[in-house]
Amino acid sequence: MEIDRAELFDNPLLHSLTTIQVAKTQFHLLTASSLTPTVLVSQIRLCNVLLGEIRAISCSLERRMKYRGMMRRRSLVAKRGRDSRRLPTLQGNPENRSKEG
């Protein structure tokens, strides 16, 4: 199965993961250099980028789970609706029903 490149770039989750990967690489490059105030500020900014992308992924997954939960509940309600259209089955002992009727 081949995925269209345009589809990959439109996917917010993939965008977040790519951003995290780039920020992580830049963070490691900065860690290898000497710690100056400018490097520390850059590291803090990269950490903020990472946190922002992690939040975005978390929110996206939460929305996805809620959507799946809603779809599951809808299918159960629809199934119950179909089942309720059937004739009710008689409960109890069949011998007693014939005596009552």
pLDDT tens figures, 24-40: 999 888 888 788 999 99
User: Which pLDDT score, from 0 to 100, does residue 93 have?
Assistant: 55
Q: Mark out the alpha helices in the chain (DSSP H runs).
A: 5-10, 12-32, 37-84, 94-100
d(CA 39, CA 73): 51
Q: Both tokens of residue 11?
A: 């996917």
d(CA 69, CA 11): 21
**Residue 72 — pLDDT band, cuts 50, 70, 90?**
confident
User: Which pLDDT score, from 0 to 100, does residue 49 have?
Assistant: 94
Longest dimension (CA), the chain: 95
Question: Would you call 89 helix, strand, or coil by DSSP?
Answer: coil
Q: Does residue 55 contact residue 35 with C-beta atoms inside 8 Å? A: no
Against a cut of 0.85, is the pTM above it? no
Q: Is the pLDDT of residue 84 over 60?
A: no
User: Which pLDDT score, from 0 to 100, does residue 50 have?
Assistant: 94
